[in-house]
Structure 1
Amino acid sequence: MANSVERRVTPLQYALDLFVENAPVKTPIDAVVTSKDIGYQKNSIFARIIGLGLSARRFVDAAYFIVAQEPETSDTYEVSLNFFKWLMRYESHNKKHFSSVVCSVKSAMLEVTSGPVVSVDSKGRLLEDQPDATEADEDADADQDDESFVSVSDDEGDWLELIGRVSVRNGRIRFRVPLELQRLIKDPENSYWTSLLLTSKFKLIYARAIYDHVLPEVSHERTDWISLDLIRNLPGKSWANFAEFKYFKRDYLEPAIKHINELSDIEIAYETRAGTPGSRKKDQIRFKLKRKEEAAAADADMLSSASLYLTLYKEFGLSDKQFAQIRENRGTWTDARIEQAIDYVRWRITKGDDIRRASGYLMKALTENYRVSDADKQVSLLQTKRVEKAAAKDEEQNARKDAVAASVAAAEAAAEQRRQDEMRAARDFFNAAEKKTQEELVCRFVASSTIGQRAIDRQGLKAAVVNETNIMTWPSIAGTFVPFVAAELRKAARRVR
C-alpha cells in the first residue's frame, strides 16, 4: 500500500510537502535536508540563456520545474506565491524588487536556432512544419507580398521569451510559458538534471551562470574552447565585460570557480589560451569538469548494494538522467526489479539480439517490467548447446581438413626439397666429372630428340655448337640438361642395385 501511495506522489507534490513542513520554521530551500531531490530534466538548449541575474535564474528554475511536472502543455500555470518564492529561494518582501526580477526574466530571450523549430510566421509565432523548397518557391512566385511565412536560414535566428504573462493575485502567482518552450521542458531529449536544492545555494551570479553553461558537458569531462567574451557576458552587461583579464580573473572568474567547487555537485577547473593567430591576448577558455564522488555516491546510496550500482554505472553506462528516473520510481523499481531487468537485457544480448544502447534498453525493461522466464532460459540453454555442438563439429571437420592440407603441403614441400637437392647434386656431379664423362653426357643429351634437341632448337642453336664447356652458359638449355643428368644418375644407381 505504501508503494502505491509513493507512486502517486509527483516531484511537485513532494516539493509542496517539504514547503509546508519547513514554512513554519522558515527553513529556506537551500537548507532543507532530504533524501529525495527536487529538480527536473533541463533541456541542454537552456544552457544558452545569457544575461539573467541570480534571482531571475531562480525564477526561471522555479517556473520550469512547475511546468515540467505536467505531461501536457497548458495555457497557464498557477501556484501559491509563497511556495513559488520558496522554490526560487526568494526571501525578500520588497514587492518592487520582485517586480524587477519578473521584468528581468520577461526581457530575456532564448535563441533556439538549432532547436527543433525551423520557421516562424509574420507575428513571430513558431510553426511546427516547414514546407519543402518546391512549395515555398511556388508560394513566393504566387504572391511575393505575402509575409505570412518567413523561412529561417542557418544564419538567421529565432528568439523566444522565457516567460509569458505573469500575474500575482490574492497570494498566488500565475504565469505563462511559450508553447514551444513547454515542449522542450516536458520532453527533453538532450538534457541534464537540474537540482533546485543545489542551485538555490549559489550566491555568486558568475558561479551560477558558468555552472548552468557547463553542466551539459559534465559527461564529456570538459568543454570545447569557448570565447572568453561569452563567459564575461553570461550574467549580462557589467564592469566585468570590459575589465582586463587579470582583474576579471581575480574578481569574478576565480571566486566563481571556488564557489562552484564548494557548493555544487561538480569540480571545475579551467585553462585559457590566445586563440587568435599572432596575438598573445587570452581570448579563449576551456573548462575541465568532474562529478564529485559524493554526487555519484547519492546514486549508489539509492541502491542496496554497491555492486548493483557499479553494474548500472559501468556495465550499462546509465546517465544522470536515467539514475534520476530510477530515483523517482524507487517505489516500484525495487532492487529485485532492477536485477530482473539486468538479467533480461543480458539474456537478450547473449541471444545476439540487435540492441543499440544497453542503457536505453535496460530502462525500457524496467519500465515495461520485462523478465526472463525459466522456460526461456531453458530454450536458450538448449539452443546454446546445439550451437556449441555444431560449432565443435565444424571445428573438428576443419581441423581434419587443415591436417590433410598441412600433410599435403608438407609432402609437396619435401618433394620439392628433394628435387632441389637432386638438381644441385646433378649439377655438382657434372661440374666435378672428368672430361670424358661430361662429353658422354652432353652427347646423349644432344642426341635425345625429345629433350636435348628441343631445348637447343628453342635457343635457336645448332647441336654441333653445344659441348661440355658451354652447355651451362645458356640458362634455358642448362635448365633442361641438369634434370637430364639427374635422370642418368638415377638410372646408373638402379643398375648398380
Structure 2
Amino acid sequence: MDDQAGQGATSAQMSLQLFEDMSGQPIDESTKEIGFKRNNLFVAISGLGLAPRRFIDAAYFIAAQDPAQRDYYDVDLNYFKWLMRYDSRNVRHLRSVIKDAQRVLIEVTDTPPDRAPTEDDRWVSEQLMGTVGIGKGRIQFRIPPLILRHITGPEKHHWLNLCITAAFTQTYSRAIYDYVLPHAHDGLTDWLDLDVMRSWPGKLGKSASEFKHFRQKYLEPGVKQVNELSDLDVAYETRADTPGSKKINRIRFRIKRKDTVASMLARQPESHDLLLILRNEFGLDTKQFDAIAQHRLDWTDERIQQAIEYTRFRLNQGKVTKSPAGYLMQALSHNWRVSEAERKMVVIQEERAKAENMVATAKSAASETVAKSVAQRDQEARERMNNEVRLGREHFEAADDKTRKDLVRLYVVSAQGKLTLKRLQLDASALSDGNILGHSDLAWYFGQFVFGRIKPQVRVAR
C-alpha cells in the first residue's frame, strides 16, 4: 500500500473510532478535526439546502479517504448520519434529504460569463449524487464517475472541516462559508451577482428580491453565524452595477482567517501543553499550524509528541542545521520516530564518551601535577642559584684587594668567563675588581663563579 492509500485508510479508521468513542456526542463537539480536501468546483452549487449539503459532505468525505475509485461505497448508517450530523430517527425525512441531494446538478462550462454559449463551448451537467440505498443499518451510495474523479483529483482544492460545517444551523451561513472558503488565502472574493447568491438554497420568497429584506432575513444572520461558529471572519460589500442606480445587485466578501493556534487551543484543551511546545519551542507559523489542523485526525497527540522527540534527538546530534520547525513538520508528515536501537546506541556512546572523558581528566590532572612539581623544582633551583650568587658576591665584596684581583683574573681566563664575556661582547682587559660588578648580567655569572670557588668552605661552615 502506498503512502496516500495508507493515510486515507488511517483517516477513515480514526474517524470511525472517534465516532465510537464520542458515545452520542455530535461531530461538531469533537476535539479532533475531521475533514477532507474538497475540490473548489463544489463551492457554489445552487438549490442545495443545509441537510442535503451535509449529506454530500459525508459521502464525499468517505470517498476522499479512499484513493481507489469505487462503484459503490458501503458504510454503517449511524456512522454516516454522525458525519452529516443528522440526529433525527425520521427515516421518511432522511429519504427526502437524500432525494434532494440527488436532484441537484453541477454544471461545468468554459463559456465566459459575459457572453451567450455556443455549440463549440464545452458544457457538462452531472448529478452530485447517484444511486443511494439504505437497509439493515447500512447505507450504500454511488457517486457518478465524473464527480468522483474531481473528488480525488489533483485540481485546486481547500480543506473542509466537517466539525465546523456541522455546527451551522442556517442554510445561508453554510452556503456563504462554502463560497468564501477557497478565497480565504486571498482575503477577498470576486463580485457576485446577488441573484446567483439568492439561488444557493433554492427558491426564496418574493420579499427576498428586495435587498433590504434579503439582507435582514438571510444575509446578515448567515454572515453572523459564519463569524461565530467558523474559523473565518467575514464581512461583505455591495454595489449597484448601473451608475446612478440605487438597486443593489452585486456583492463580494472580505475574509480573514482566525488565529489557528488560538482556535486549536480552544477546541483541543487536552492538547494545550503540546500545542504550546510547537508554538513556543519550535516556532511553528500559521501555515504549519493550518497543516496540523487539517491532518489532526491522524496526526494524533502521540504522533506529534513522537515528532517532537525525534526533532530534539536530531538537534542534540547536530543533524538539524536549518529550520527546526520545518524539520519537525517533516518528521510529523513522514511519521519519523527514534528507534530503540538508536536510543541504546546514544546511551552507549554517551557512556563511552564519559569513560574517555574520565581517563582524559585523570591524565590531565596527572600532567598538571607533574607540571606543578617541575615548576616548583625550577623555582627552588632559581632561588638556590640566586642565593649562591648572593653569597659569592658577598664574599667578593668582603675580600681583600689581592683576593679580589686574583678572583677577577681567574674568572677572565676560565672557560666559563671567556664564554660569558664573548656572549656579552665585553673586553676582558677592561675588567677589574673595581668595575666587574657594574654590569648586572656579568655580575650574576661572576657571583656564581666566586661561589663555586668558596663552595667547599660554605659546606664546612654549614
TM-score tier (shorter): 0.5 to 0.7
Partner of 2:308: 335
**Given the superposition, is the C-alpha separation of residues 255 and 114 from structure 1 closer, same or farther in structure 2, using an over 3 Å criterion?**
same
**Identity over the aligned pairs, expressed in percent?**
41
Give the aligned length: 315
Letter in 2 for 1:50: S
Query: Partners of 1:339 and 1:241 in 2: how far apart?
Result: 62
1:45 and 2:41 matched: yes
Q: Do structure 1's residue 87 and structure 2's residue 57 form an aligned pair? A: no
SS of structure 2 residue aligned to 1:269 = strand
Taking a change above 3 Å as real, the CA distance of residues 76 and 212 of structure 1, as seen in their structure-2 partners, is same
CA distance in 1, matches of 2:162, 2:262: 18
Residue in 1 that maps onto 2:10: 10
Secondary structure of 1:71 counterpart:
coil
Are residues 1:192 and 2:158 paired? yes
Per-residue deviation, 1:318:
4.1
User: What is the RMSD of the two structures over their aligned residues, measured on CA atoms?
Assistant: 3.8
Instruction: Answer yes or no: is the 8 Å Cα contact 1:233–1:241 preserved in 2.
Output: no
Whole-Å Cα distance in 1 between the matches of residues 22 and 59 of structure 2? 20
Distance, in Å, in 1 between the alignment partners of 2:249 and 2:319 is 48
SS for the counterpart of 1:111 is strand
1:48 deviation in Å? 2.4
Quick one: which of 59, 69, 76 aligns to 2:72?
Answer: 76
* Structure with greater Cα Rg: 2
Alignment map for 1:412-431 (pairs within 5 Å): none
Residue number in structure 2 paired with 1:324: 294
CA contact (8 A) 1:337 1:369 kept: no
Cα 1:8–1:156 change in 2 (3 A) is closer
* TM norm structure 2: 0.59
Q: Is the 8 A contact 2:310 2:336 kept in 1?
A: no
Q: Which piece of structure 1 moves more, 286-295 or 228-237?
A: 286-295
What's the counterpart of residue 58 of structure 1?
Answer: 54
The 1:367–1:27 alpha-carbon spacing in structure 2 relative to 1, beyond 3 Å, is closer
SS in 1 for 2:123: coil
Name the SS of the counterpart of 2:69 in structure 1.
coil
Is the alpha carbon distance of 1:305 and 1:367 closer, same or farther for their aligned partners in structure 2, counting shifts above 3 Å? Answer: closer
Does the 8 A contact of 2:303 with 2:332 survive in 1? Answer: no
1:276 Cα offset (Å): 2.8
TM-score, scaled relative to structure 1: 0.55
Counting only pairs closer than 5 Å after superposition, residues 217-228 of structure 1 correspond to structure 2 as 217-228=183-194
Q: How do residues 279-318 of structure 1 correspond to structure 2 at under 5 angstroms?
A: 279-293=245-259, 297-298=263-264, 303-305=275-277, 307=279, 311-313=283-285, 317-318=287-288
2:335, 2:321 → 1: CA distance? 15
Alignment counterpart, residue 236 of structure 1, candidates 191, 198, 202:
202
Structure-2 change in CA distance of 1:265 and 1:326 (3 Å)? closer
1:15 is displaced (CA, Å) by 2.5
Q: d(CA) in 2 for partners of 1:46 and 1:291? A: 20
Q: Which amino acid aligns with 1:27?
A: Q
What whole-Å deviation, never above 9, does each CA across 1:62-96 have from its counterpart, x for those lacking one?
11111111121111101111221121111222222
Change (3 A) 1:367 1:19: closer
Report the Cα distance in structure 2 between the residues aligned to 1:65 and 1:8, rounded to whole angstroms.
Answer: 10
**1:193–1:320 CA contact under 8 A, matched in 2:** no
> What letter is aligned with 1:86?
W
CA distance in 2, matches of 1:282, 1:369: 53
How far residue 335 of structure 1 moved from its aligned partner, in angstroms, is 2.4
Cα distance change, pair 327–15 in 1 and its aligned pair in 2 (3 A): closer
* Counterpart contact for 2:132–2:139, Cα < 8 Å: yes
C-alpha deviations, 1:294-317, integer Å up to 9, x for none? 665418956342546984426xx4
Equivalent position amino acid for 2:191 in 1? W
Partner of 2:25: 27
Matches within 5 A, 1:169-208: 169-208=135-174
Offset of 1:42 from its aligned partner? 1.2
Contact 1:342 1:362 in 2 (8 A): no
Distance 1:233 1:345 in 2: 57
Partner residue in 1 for 2:412 = none
Structure 2 CA distance for aligned equivalents of residues 8 and 213 of structure 1: 26
Letter in 2 for 1:259: Q
> Is this contact kept in 2: 1:109–1:159, CA < 8 A?
yes
Q: In the alignment, what sits opposite 2:96?
A: 100
Among 122, 130, 133, the residue aligned to 1:167:
133
The whole-number CA distance in structure 1 between the counterparts of 2:243 and 2:191 is 15
Q: Tell whether the 8 Å contact from 1:341 to 1:369 is kept in structure 2 after alignment.
A: no
Task: Return the alpha-carbon distance in structure 1 between the equivalents of residues 290 and 125 of structure 2.
Answer: 29
Residue in 1 that maps onto 2:433: none
* Counterpart residue number, 1:257: 223
Q: Distance in 1 between matches of 2:108 and 2:227?
A: 30
Helix, strand or coil: the match of 2:247?
A: coil
* Matched residue SS, 1:56: helix
AA of the residue aligned to 1:77: Y
Name the residue aligned to 1:468.
none
Residue 283 (structure 1) shift: 1.0
Distance 1:8 1:57, change over 3 A: closer
Unaligned runs of 5+ in 2: 1-5, 112-117, 266-270, 338-462
Measured after TM superposition, the shift of residue 370 of structure 1 is 9.5
Change (3 A) 1:171 1:306: closer
Which amino acid is 1:328 matched to? D
Q: Distance in 2 between matches of 1:325 and 1:342?
A: 25
